[in-house]
Amino acid sequence: MPVPTPQHRDERDYPIIAHEGWPIVAAFVLAAGVLTGGAWALLGSPAGPLVGSVTGLLAMWAVWFFRDPARTAPAGAGVVVSPADGVCCHAGPAQPPAELGLDSATTWTRVSVFMNVFNVHVNRAPVGGEVERVEYRPGKFFNASFDKASEHNERCGMVIRTPEGERVGCVQIAGLVARRIVCRVGPGALLRTGERYGLIRFGSRVDVYLPEGAEARARVGQRMVAGETVIAALPARGAPARVEAPAAAAQGAEV
């Protein structure tokens, strides 16, 4: 179901739980109450407390999974930040997916961030600029930490053009247990560095494709904080490109 593009709200204006998670959190809490009450009524003690403990922990995990903490993006032109919380599982040369339309003759650097089921799963824009393209591709559900996930897994890719004219690719990749990718923006949307733009559930990965000349600063095994950890610096070249607001609000997609 399409949803409006972000409206550049202040970080503190967002709810502490991502809105895509509200129905799931509510379902977990409701199930915990029903199952615990049923166990008490039918089996009594100690079954009631045991069921209550297990279902209560699961409900708390659902809240934890969909949490959406405020972040402060670093200032500075050309700064590229991590799009996700997690661990860097790849940092090196790689060709971006064909559907992004990025120059295959250019040398690109890919930085991949793997999210486990305990990480924040709200994704953030690695750079500020205008969204040029959003492309969804169905696929398999290999473990997102595997390198082949970039090519074979279900994914949703986005290309952002910075005010300086650089193009950066950002690809949300479904994982072993992930079955839903949410991208809240569409072509024409304007994003700030570190701004929320989507979410994946559960356990997944985000790849960032950096143009030739970018200085990658991420290393494999490094822990990342979405919207805050600097993973690269874009080259300073060319004249600034004019980025205009779209005539109408761009739309995102949930796939």
Active site amino acids: 204
User: Which helix H or strand E contains 33, and what residues bound it?
Assistant: helix 22-43
| SS3 assignment, position 40 | helix
- Looking up tokens 């029903």 gives 34
Angstrom distance (rounded) from CA 218 to CA 15: 30
Q: How many CA atoms lie within 13 A of 172 on its CB side?
A: 33
User: Can you tell me which residue has the tokens 């650089």?
Assistant: 166
H or E element that contains 196: strand 196-201
Query: Cβ distance 75 to 182 under 8 Å?
Result: no
CB-count exposure of residue 139 (10 Å: 0-12, 13-18, 19+): middle
Rg of the chain, C-alpha, whole Å? 20
Residue 76, token pair as written in the block: 């500075």
199 contact partners, CB below 8 Å, separation of at least 6 = 18, 20, 21, 121, 122, 123, 182
